[in-house]
């Protein structure tokens, strides 16, 4: 056994009697004694040559970056670490995830360096942190390492149950214990509150500084306790001449990482005991509602003969579930550590997938469509062309719109960016000039582009007119059929097919779809269900009438009645059937001209109308799943994947990535989507990323069957849509594993968007001209 010159690791003093709680939040920390925190020898320092510091927490790659391999150690900052107790490292950037459920840290505090440690410096009077317990706890005590400021007192409470107050000194950093709670703490979420008082009024004083907070059974010798850093958990360990980057855990310890594995995911790791003596290594899976499942257990011997033992486990039984994968060191000799070398989630490297090339990419977006009402997700009915496209293409049943704001969804389809990144998040915003559309990328590749829209929220005033060779907006105010945008697109496409220009072509059509005003004659309306309808809906004034209902103060008194909804659906179906006939003409044109096999056709909805009792077509309605459930069908060049259904989680940036890939144009580095052709052939992340839909200050995160919804800065709600489709029951506090996993996924996605190099500094308001205002009024989007 080699320790790079060190005989063995530092001695570790057990804190099992002092740290009795069950879990740590997503912080790379564990309990250790003061002896452990002493400066290590030079030889041992070499063993921990590359500690994972708080400085690079923000730079760790997100789960979504993993494809065929997910390495645990680079992502350790976002795993939980248990070492017989709970420690909150308040000076870490990641602690913002647990302070008020916001996307960023409050300006009332900042991180500062003091004596080689990172403290949180409080300017506001109150600091709040949420944490979870996996088991009920009694006799819970809190201790903290604190340095005083202007405040005279610091009061500590959990769930508004006061533990006591301390008087910190501004001249000394010290560890202070508080008496234990008399009441038990239940399993689930709790809130720690730290309140400073006694500071003079006036300028912005420094209330105080806190290094860490420990929550656990009361320690008899709290002054010997010191919180660890990541360098205690990660090191380059050499056993029997074989070096590995390893998690090194002092028993009893656990590292728990949240993930949703793919169907072919496997855990790969090597285990060994570092130091004299012996110990055990265990890999376990935990999930809400299930008993923990032990995948592997290994007994390990240390000393000079120590070596690595390969350990592998199939994660296929957990595919589709949100699980906690635990690396555990349940026992071991005092002074030794259990090492998990190069832990990763991986699959057999698949053969490269070459996406078929297209000369023509056509993106057809229809407004207001509910996926369940159109083929191949619903009955074909009077939509034969869409039914044929479903038979010739691939239906992505896991597609989910990234917003309920129409221009936000279309912006994602045309930029490859999420709404948080391109910042078109509300009905009044436009695409910033600095954000590039697909039209610009295609033209730079020598191609030609055109966009035809009949939807006012994607007119030029909202930033969609940039970079196209042809951009044409057809207002619903004009006395033109709803098919006009498609008809003009057909003429442009036929001209481009007849042209000998060698470059790629991109055609985008945003049709009125099922959205009012409905292009139907009086006679056509009279034949619709229900018979002898006498309600308020009118085909030509439908948008205006619905906007009027939404604007009334007593909205609950003006919901549509059952007959209104029946008539509404009939109007939608009849209007969409007219546009289906133009889709048929498009498909016939491509086949007649002999370019069908050279064409990628993407059919997508923007935002669904919604369901009772809410009024339909709300321009800024709730982030409900029924409004996000829109169709996506892709017909790939060459006819591959014909008639297939793919349940993969998919979002709008993936469609943008697929279009550029099919045209042979390299994806820009900032793109957030992936090629769906490769994904449909199994090239998916071995660890499934979450699906995030957002609005201004709102989010709805899907991961498997779990749905987390909320407003930034407030406690979210959680439900399991497979058993509770309407999300009637909030189980955020009851299902603590899923709650932590989904909130962490949300926080990471929010942070990734905020740090994007292409994100505009500000949301840009749209400047509306009179024609656009008139079009929006008829559309039912009153400003």
Q: What per-residue confidence (pLDDT) applies to 59? A: 32
State the DSSP H helix or E strand holding residue 580, giving kind and residue range, or none if neither. Answer: helix 562-592
Instruction: Give dist(CA 278, CA 263) in Å, integer.
Output: 35
Beta carbons within 8 Å of 252's beta carbon, 6+ residues apart:
16, 83, 84, 328, 329, 330, 331
Pick the more confident residue, 731 or 104: 731
Q: Which of 502, 505, 481 is CA-nearest to residue 492?
A: 505
Pick the more confident residue, 694 or 25: 694
Torsion of CA 431, 432, 433, 438, to 10 degrees: -40
Instruction: Give dist(CA 34, CA 88) in Å, integer.
Output: 17
Kindly report the average pLDDT of the chain as a whole number. Answer: 88
| Residue-wise pLDDT tens digits, 429-478 | 999 999 999 999 999 999 999 999 999 999 999 999 999 999 999 999 99
| Residue-wise pLDDT tens digits, 169-210 | 999 999 999 999 988 999 889 999 999 999 988 788 999 999
Residue 7 — very low, low, confident or very high, per pLDDT cuts 50/70/90? very low
Percent over 70 (pLDDT), the chain:
89
User: Residue 5: pLDDT above 90?
Assistant: no
Instruction: Give dist(CA 289, CA 737) in Å, integer.
Output: 10
Q: Tell me which DSSP letter residue 182 carries.
A: S
State the DSSP H helix or E strand holding residue 176, giving kind and residue range, or none if neither. Answer: strand 173-177
Residue 11 — very low, low, confident or very high, per pLDDT cuts 50/70/90? very low
Give phi and psi for 416, each to the nearest 5.
75, 20
Contact 9, 234 (CB under 8 A): no
Q: What per-residue confidence (pLDDT) applies to 457? A: 98
User: Residue 52: pLDDT above 50?
Assistant: no
Q: What per-residue confidence (pLDDT) applies to 225? A: 59
Pick the more confident residue, 369 or 53: 369
Stretch 268-276: mean pLDDT: 97
User: Residue 281: pLDDT above 50?
Assistant: yes
Range scoring the smallest mean pLDDT among 48-62, 661-675, 721-735 = 48-62
Q: Tell me which DSSP letter residue 206 carries.
A: -
Q: What per-residue confidence (pLDDT) applies to 508? A: 99
Stretch 646-652: mean pLDDT: 96
Q: What per-residue confidence (pLDDT) applies to 33? A: 33
Contact 412, 418 (CB under 8 A): yes
| Residue-wise pLDDT tens digits, 751-765 | 999 999 999 999 999
**Residue 677 Rama label (left phi>0; alpha psi -120 to 50; beta):** alpha
As beta bridge partners, residue 239 has 242
Contact 94, 55 (CB under 8 A): no
Contact 489, 450 (CB under 8 A): yes
Beta carbons within 8 Å of 302's beta carbon, 6+ residues apart:
1, 272, 273, 274, 275, 276, 277, 278, 279, 333, 336
Stretch 384-399: mean pLDDT: 98
Sheet holding 278-286, edge to edge: 80-82, 253-259, 323-332, 278-286, 293-301
Stretch 593-599: mean pLDDT: 97
Q: What per-residue confidence (pLDDT) applies to 228? A: 53
Q: What per-residue confidence (pLDDT) applies to 25? A: 37
Q: What per-residue confidence (pLDDT) applies to 702? A: 97
Q: What per-residue confidence (pLDDT) applies to 166? A: 95
| Residue-wise pLDDT tens digits, 284-329 | 999 999 999 999 999 999 999 999 999 999 999 999 999 999 999 9
Q: What per-residue confidence (pLDDT) applies to 558? A: 60
| Residue-wise pLDDT tens digits, 512-551 | 999 999 999 999 999 999 999 999 999 999 999 999 998 8
Which ranges of 552-707 would DSSP assign to H, the alpha helix? 562-592, 625-628, 652-662, 676-680
Give me the DSSP letters along 135-147.
S-BSSEEEEEEEE
Q: What per-residue confidence (pLDDT) applies to 402? A: 98
State the DSSP H helix or E strand holding residue 485, giving kind and residue range, or none if neither. Answer: helix 484-498
Q: What per-residue confidence (pLDDT) applies to 352? A: 83
Percent over 90 (pLDDT), the chain:
75
Beta carbons within 8 Å of 307's beta carbon, 6+ residues apart:
1, 239, 240, 242, 272
Q: What per-residue confidence (pLDDT) applies to 6? A: 31
Model-level pTM?
0.90
């Amino acid at each position: 056994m080699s320790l790079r010159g060190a005989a063995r690791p530092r001695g570790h003093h057990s804190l099992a009697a002092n740290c009795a709680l069950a879990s740590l939040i997503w912080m790379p920390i564990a309990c250790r004694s003061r002896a452990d925190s002493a400066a290590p020898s030079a030889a041992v320092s070499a063993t921990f040559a590359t500690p994972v510091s708080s400085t690079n927490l923000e730079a760790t790659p997100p789960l979504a970056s993993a494809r065929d391999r997910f390495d645990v150690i680079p992502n350790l900052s976002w795993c939980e670490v248990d070492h017989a107790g709970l420690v909150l490292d308040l000076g870490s950037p990641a602690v913002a995830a647990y302070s008020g459920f916001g996307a960023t840290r409050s300006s009332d505090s900042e991180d500062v360096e003091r004596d080689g440690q990172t403290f949180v410096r409080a300017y506001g009077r109150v600091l709040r942190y949420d944490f979870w317990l996996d088991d009920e706890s009694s006799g819970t005590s809190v201790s903290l390492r604190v340095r005083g400021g202007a405040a005279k007192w610091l009061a500590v409470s959990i769930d508004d149950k006061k533990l006591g107050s301390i008087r910190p000194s501004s001249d000394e950093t010290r560890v202070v214990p508080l008496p234990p709670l008399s009441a038990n703490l239940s399993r689930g979420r709790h809130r720690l509150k730290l309140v400073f008082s006694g500071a003079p009024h006036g300028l912005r004083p420094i209330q105080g500084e806190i290094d860490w907070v420990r929550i656990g059974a009361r320690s008899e010798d709290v002054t010997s306790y010191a919180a660890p850093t990541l360098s205690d958990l990660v090191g380059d360990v050499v056993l029997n001449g074989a070096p590995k980057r390893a998690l090194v855990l002092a028993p009893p310890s656990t590292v728990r990482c949240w993930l949703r594995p793919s169907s072919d995911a496997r855990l790969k790791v090597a285990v060994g005991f570092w130091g004299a003596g012996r110990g055990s290594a265990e890999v376990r899976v935990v999930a809400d509602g299930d008993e923990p499942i032990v995948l592997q257990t290994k007994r390990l011997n240390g000393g000079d003969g120590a070596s690595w033992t390969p350990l592998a486990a199939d994660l296929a039984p957990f595919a589709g579930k949100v699980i906690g994968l635990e690396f555990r060191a349940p026992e071991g000799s005092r002074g030794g550590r259990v090492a998990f070398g190069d832990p990763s989630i991986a699959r057999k490297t698949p053969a490269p997938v070459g996406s078929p090339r297209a000369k023509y990419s056509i993106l057809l977006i229809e407004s207001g469509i509910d996926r369940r009402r159109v083929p191949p997700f619903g009955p074909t009915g009077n939509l034969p062309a869409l039914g044929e496209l479903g038979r010739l293409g691939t239906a992505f049943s896991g597609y989910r719109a990234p917003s309920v704001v129409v221009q936000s969804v279309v912006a994602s389809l045309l930029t490859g960016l999420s709404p948080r990144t391109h910042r078109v998040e509300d009905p009044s915003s436009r695409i910033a000039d600095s954000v590039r559309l697909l039209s610009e990328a295609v033209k730079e590749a020598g191609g030609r582009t055109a966009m035809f829209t009949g939807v006012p929220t994607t007119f030029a005033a909202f930033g969609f007119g940039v970079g196209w060779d042809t951009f044409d907006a057809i207002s619903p105010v004009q006395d033109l059929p709803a098919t006009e945008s498609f008809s003009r697109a057909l003429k442009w496409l036929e001209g481009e097919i007849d042209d000998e220009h060698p470059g790629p072509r991109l055609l985008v059509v945003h049709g009125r779809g099922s959205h009012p005003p409905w292009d139907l004659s009086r006679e056509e309306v009279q034949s619709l269900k229900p018979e002898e309808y006498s309600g308020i809906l009118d085909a030509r004034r439908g948008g205006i009438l619905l906007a009027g209902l939404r604007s009334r103060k007593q909205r609950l008194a003006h919901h549509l009645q059952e007959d209104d909804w029946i008539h509404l659906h009939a109007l939608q179906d009849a209007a969409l059937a007219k546009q289906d006939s133009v889709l048929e003409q498009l498909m016939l044109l491509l086949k007649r001209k002999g370019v069908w096999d050279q064409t990628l056709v993407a059919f997508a909805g923007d935002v669904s109308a919604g369901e009772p009792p809410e009024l339909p077509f709300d321009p800024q309605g709730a982030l409900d799943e029924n409004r996000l459930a829109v169709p996506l069908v892709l017909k790939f060049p060459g006819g591959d994947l014909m008639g297939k259904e793919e349940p993969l989680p998919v979002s709008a940036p993936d469609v943008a990535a697929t279009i550029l890939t099919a045209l042979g144009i390299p994806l820009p580095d900032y793109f957030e989507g992936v090629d769906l052709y490769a994904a449909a052939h199994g090239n998916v992340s071995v660890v499934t990323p979450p699906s995030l839909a957002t609005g201004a200050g709102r989010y709805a995160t899907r991961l498997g069957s779990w749905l987390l919804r909320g407003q930034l800065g407030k406690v979210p709600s959680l439900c399991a849509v497979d058993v509770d489709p309407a999300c009637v029951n909030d189980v955020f506090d009851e299902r603590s594993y899923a709650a932590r996993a989904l909130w962490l996924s949300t926080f990471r996605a929010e942070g990734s968007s905020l740090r994007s190099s292409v994100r505009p500094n500000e949301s840009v308001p749209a400047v509306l001209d009179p024609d656009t205002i008139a079009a929006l009024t008829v559309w039912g989007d009153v400003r």
